[in-house]
Structure 1
Amino acid sequence: MVRQVAGELGHTPAQVALAWTLRKPGVTSTLLGARTPAQLEDNPGALTVELTDAQLARLDAAGAIAPGQPHELPASEPIRRVTTGDLRIETRR
Protein backbone atom coordinates (compact mmCIF):
# COMPACT_ATOMS: atom_id res chain seq x y z
CA MET A 1 0.00 0.00 0.00
CA VAL A 2 2.81 2.42 0.85
CA ARG A 3 4.41 1.78 -2.53
CA GLN A 4 1.10 2.40 -4.31
CA VAL A 5 0.56 5.73 -2.55
CA ALA A 6 4.20 6.69 -3.15
CA GLY A 7 3.73 6.01 -6.87
CA GLU A 8 0.58 8.12 -6.94
CA LEU A 9 2.38 11.04 -5.31
CA GLY A 10 5.79 10.78 -6.94
CA HIS A 11 7.56 10.28 -3.60
CA THR A 12 9.56 7.41 -2.20
CA PRO A 13 7.90 4.80 0.01
CA ALA A 14 10.09 5.94 2.93
CA GLN A 15 8.87 9.52 2.53
CA VAL A 16 5.22 8.40 2.44
CA ALA A 17 5.67 6.14 5.48
CA LEU A 18 7.30 8.95 7.45
CA ALA A 19 4.65 11.46 6.34
CA TRP A 20 1.88 9.07 7.43
CA THR A 21 3.55 8.58 10.81
CA LEU A 22 3.95 12.33 11.29
CA ARG A 23 0.20 12.81 10.76
CA LYS A 24 -0.82 10.28 13.42
CA PRO A 25 -2.19 12.22 16.43
CA GLY A 26 -0.91 9.65 18.95
CA VAL A 27 2.67 9.66 17.66
CA THR A 28 4.93 12.00 19.60
CA SER A 29 8.22 11.07 17.95
CA THR A 30 9.37 9.50 14.71
CA LEU A 31 12.69 7.67 14.56
CA LEU A 32 14.59 7.54 11.30
CA GLY A 33 16.28 4.27 10.44
CA ALA A 34 18.58 5.25 7.60
CA ARG A 35 21.36 2.79 6.79
CA THR A 36 22.96 4.88 4.06
CA PRO A 37 23.65 8.58 3.50
CA ALA A 38 21.24 8.49 0.53
CA GLN A 39 18.42 7.25 2.77
CA LEU A 40 19.19 9.94 5.32
CA GLU A 41 19.07 12.61 2.62
CA ASP A 42 15.77 11.21 1.31
CA ASN A 43 13.91 11.31 4.64
CA PRO A 44 13.29 15.09 4.91
CA GLY A 45 11.27 14.82 1.71
CA ALA A 46 8.50 13.44 3.95
CA LEU A 47 7.79 16.99 5.03
CA THR A 48 6.59 17.85 1.52
CA VAL A 49 4.26 14.86 1.10
CA GLU A 50 0.59 15.90 0.86
CA LEU A 51 -1.60 12.91 1.67
CA THR A 52 -5.30 13.04 0.81
CA ASP A 53 -7.93 11.82 3.28
CA ALA A 54 -8.50 8.78 1.05
CA GLN A 55 -4.79 7.93 1.01
CA LEU A 56 -4.58 8.36 4.79
CA ALA A 57 -7.55 6.02 5.20
CA ARG A 58 -5.92 3.39 2.96
CA LEU A 59 -2.66 3.61 4.90
CA ASP A 60 -4.52 3.45 8.22
CA ALA A 61 -6.38 0.33 7.08
CA ALA A 62 -3.17 -1.32 5.90
CA GLY A 63 -1.43 -0.53 9.18
CA ALA A 64 -4.28 -1.51 11.50
CA ILE A 65 -3.35 -4.12 14.07
CA ALA A 66 -5.87 -5.70 16.43
CA PRO A 67 -4.51 -5.46 19.99
CA GLY A 68 -5.73 -8.92 21.02
CA GLN A 69 -6.06 -10.19 24.56
CA PRO A 70 -5.44 -9.01 27.24
CA HIS A 71 -5.33 -5.52 25.69
CA GLU A 72 -8.89 -5.65 24.40
CA LEU A 73 -10.38 -5.95 27.88
CA PRO A 74 -9.37 -2.48 29.18
CA ALA A 75 -10.55 -0.97 25.89
CA SER A 76 -13.96 -2.66 26.08
CA GLU A 77 -17.03 -0.47 26.50
CA PRO A 78 -18.04 -1.69 30.00
CA ILE A 79 -14.54 -1.22 31.41
CA ARG A 80 -14.18 2.17 29.70
CA ARG A 81 -17.43 3.38 31.28
CA VAL A 82 -16.33 2.26 34.75
CA THR A 83 -12.81 3.69 34.57
CA THR A 84 -13.58 6.98 32.83
CA GLY A 85 -17.08 7.80 34.05
CA ASP A 86 -18.17 7.63 30.39
CA LEU A 87 -15.82 10.51 29.51
CA ARG A 88 -14.76 10.65 25.85
CA ILE A 89 -11.75 12.54 24.54
CA GLU A 90 -11.79 13.16 20.81
CA THR A 91 -8.48 13.06 18.93
CA ARG A 92 -7.30 16.10 17.00
CA ARG A 93 -7.12 15.96 13.25
Structure 2
Amino acid sequence: MTPSQVALAWTLLNPGVTAPIVGARTPAQLEDNLGALDVRFTGAQLATLAEASEVELGFPHEFLRRPMARGVVSGAVTLDTAR
Protein backbone atom coordinates (compact mmCIF):
# COMPACT_ATOMS: atom_id res chain seq x y z
CA MET A 1 0.00 0.00 0.00
CA THR A 2 1.53 3.33 -1.06
CA PRO A 3 0.94 6.74 0.55
CA SER A 4 -1.04 7.91 -2.46
CA GLN A 5 -3.28 4.84 -2.27
CA VAL A 6 -3.92 5.46 1.44
CA ALA A 7 -4.71 9.13 0.82
CA LEU A 8 -7.09 8.43 -2.05
CA ALA A 9 -8.78 5.49 -0.29
CA TRP A 10 -9.33 7.59 2.84
CA THR A 11 -10.69 10.45 0.75
CA LEU A 12 -13.15 8.06 -0.91
CA LEU A 13 -14.60 7.25 2.53
CA ASN A 14 -15.55 10.91 3.08
CA PRO A 15 -19.24 11.33 2.17
CA GLY A 16 -18.60 14.96 1.23
CA VAL A 17 -16.19 13.99 -1.52
CA THR A 18 -17.83 13.04 -4.80
CA ALA A 19 -14.65 12.61 -6.83
CA PRO A 20 -11.11 12.75 -5.44
CA ILE A 21 -8.58 14.45 -7.69
CA VAL A 22 -6.04 12.05 -9.11
CA GLY A 23 -2.83 13.85 -10.03
CA ALA A 24 -1.16 11.17 -12.10
CA ARG A 25 1.26 12.30 -14.79
CA THR A 26 2.42 8.87 -15.91
CA PRO A 27 0.69 5.55 -16.57
CA ALA A 28 2.59 4.07 -13.59
CA GLN A 29 1.25 6.79 -11.27
CA LEU A 30 -2.28 6.24 -12.57
CA GLU A 31 -1.98 2.50 -11.97
CA ASP A 32 -0.71 3.16 -8.45
CA ASN A 33 -3.57 5.59 -7.74
CA LEU A 34 -6.16 3.10 -8.99
CA GLY A 35 -4.84 0.68 -6.37
CA ALA A 36 -6.69 2.85 -3.84
CA LEU A 37 -9.89 1.11 -4.89
CA ASP A 38 -8.60 -2.11 -3.30
CA VAL A 39 -7.49 -0.57 0.01
CA ARG A 40 -9.48 -1.61 3.07
CA PHE A 41 -8.93 0.02 6.48
CA THR A 42 -9.41 -1.46 9.92
CA GLY A 43 -11.22 0.53 12.58
CA ALA A 44 -7.91 1.26 14.31
CA GLN A 45 -6.38 2.57 11.08
CA LEU A 46 -9.36 4.85 10.49
CA ALA A 47 -9.12 6.16 14.05
CA THR A 48 -5.41 6.90 13.56
CA LEU A 49 -6.09 8.75 10.29
CA ALA A 50 -8.92 10.75 11.87
CA GLU A 51 -6.73 11.74 14.82
CA ALA A 52 -3.82 12.72 12.57
CA SER A 53 -6.02 14.90 10.37
CA GLU A 54 -7.96 16.63 13.14
CA VAL A 55 -7.86 20.41 12.78
CA GLU A 56 -8.25 22.82 15.69
CA LEU A 57 -10.62 25.51 14.49
CA GLY A 58 -9.81 28.07 17.17
CA PHE A 59 -11.69 31.34 17.49
CA PRO A 60 -14.60 31.90 16.89
CA HIS A 61 -15.54 28.22 16.74
CA GLU A 62 -14.31 27.37 20.24
CA PHE A 63 -16.02 30.47 21.63
CA LEU A 64 -19.32 29.56 19.96
CA ARG A 65 -19.28 26.11 21.61
CA ARG A 66 -19.69 27.71 25.03
CA PRO A 67 -23.22 27.44 26.48
CA MET A 68 -23.51 31.20 27.11
CA ALA A 69 -22.48 32.08 23.56
CA ARG A 70 -24.84 29.47 22.11
CA GLY A 71 -27.67 30.84 24.22
CA VAL A 72 -27.07 34.41 23.08
CA VAL A 73 -26.83 33.38 19.43
CA SER A 74 -30.00 31.27 19.57
CA GLY A 75 -31.98 33.81 21.56
CA ALA A 76 -32.31 31.63 24.66
CA VAL A 77 -30.44 34.20 26.78
CA THR A 78 -31.72 37.71 27.26
CA LEU A 79 -29.80 40.62 28.69
CA ASP A 80 -31.22 42.91 31.39
CA THR A 81 -30.54 46.40 30.09
CA ALA A 82 -32.61 48.22 32.75
CA ARG A 83 -29.58 48.87 34.94
How many corresponding residue pairs?
Answer: 72
Range 48-57 or range 38-47, more displaced: 38-47
Letter in 2 for 1:82: S
Distance 1:30 1:72 in 2: 30
CA-to-aligned-CA distance 1:13-68 (integer Å, 9 cap, x gap): 11111111111233333111223331112111111101011100101111111122
State the structure with more CA Rg.
2
Gaps of 5+ in 2: 76-83
For the structure 1 residues 71 and 40, does the alpha-carbon distance in structure 2 shift closer, same or farther, using more than 3 Å as the test? farther
For the structure 1 residues 63 and 77, does the alpha-carbon distance in structure 2 shift closer, same or farther, using more than 3 Å as the test? same
Paired-residue identity, % = 57
Letter in 2 for 1:31: I
TM-score by length of 2: 0.67
Q: Does 1:68 align with 2:58?
A: yes
Counterpart residue number, 2:74: 82
Distance 1:58 1:28 in 2: 23
Distance 2:23 2:36 in 1: 14
For the structure 1 residues 69 and 34, does the alpha-carbon distance in structure 2 shift closer, same or farther, using more than 3 Å as the test? farther
Q: Does 1:18 align with 2:5?
A: no
